Amino acid sequence: MDLGIEGRRAIVCAASRGLGRACAQSLARNGVDLVINGRDRAALEGTARDIREETGIAVETVAGDISDPAVQAALIDACPESDILINNNGGPPRRDFREIDREDFLQGVVMNMATPVEMIQRVVDGMAARGFGRIVNITSISVKMPVPGLDLSSGARAGLTAFVAGIASGVAARNVTINNVLPGYFDTERLRSNIASGAEATGTELTQFTEQHMASVPAKRFGDPAEFGEACAFLCSAQAGYITGQNLVIDGGRCGSVW
């Protein structure tokens, strides 16, 4: 399927690995030039090299923490007329809510709510003026299905969801869409790390703990990041111009709701 976005330009945040990388790869395969970001410079450059070799697409890199305004400004300098923005960032570590202090709260809200809004502020008016824009926020299934220990991440991402709902309706008439994609268990380094930590904390053998998580998914498997990337790319397509203000859950059926 031709997504109608060949020749467009995209900023993809936190794209050196995992779901961000998968989104960048899918966009590149559809002819979209990229500016990608990540904290780990070596991993970021490796991702850029792999995408260039596979697709022949132009890929620029901006290393650093996406929550840093200077890094945000560098991304905009590298892609001043972006057509697509993929917001992505890591979340606060798993911890009991009783352990969260004021500094932790502020950091979590900055990472998972303020930062994506700041990036939207930087690109949305230009998109509206040019008559095309696609913004996708990678959030989490925890927005709809809270995960114990990830309360701060869940709260901040839910705040982002509510915040952008109003923005989305305000720019829809200019062919600018804003949607959120809520991943469940995807086979990424972060998931494997979290499972390993959980197994250790509970004294459970790693294979058994992994199988327990997989069994909790109706699809009986973890998602392939490539599946996530393709869904993200479709939301960025020319054909998706009538889809905005939505939360797309991609979780193998864990949420269990058709509403």
Long-range contacts of 207-216 (CB under 8 A, 24+ apart): 213/185, 214/185, 216/254
d(CA 234, CA 86): 12
Q: What is the pLDDT of residue 194?
A: 82
Query: Fold for domain 9-184+224-248?
Result: Rossmann fold (3.40.50)
* Consecutive 10-residue averages of pLDDT for the chain (259 residues): 97 97 98 98 98 98 97 98 96 84 92 97 98 97 85 92 95 98 93 86 91 94 97 98 97 78
Are 111 and 160 contacting, i.e. CB atoms less than 8 angstroms apart? no
Q: What is the bridge-based pairing of β-strands 84-87 and 59-63?
A: unpaired
**Tens digits of residue pLDDT in 22-33:** 999 999 999 999
Query: How far is CA 38 from each of CA 18, 24, 64, 72, 189, rounded to the nearest angstrom?
Result: 11, 12, 6, 11, 15
End-to-end CA distance of the chain: 27
**Tens digits of residue pLDDT in 55-98:** 999 999 999 999 999 999 999 999 999 999 999 998 877 788 89
Could you tell me the residue ranges of all domains in the chain?
9-184+224-248, 187-222
Q: What is the pLDDT of residue 90?
A: 85
Q: pTM score, two decimals? A: 0.94
CB atoms within 10 A of CB 187: 13
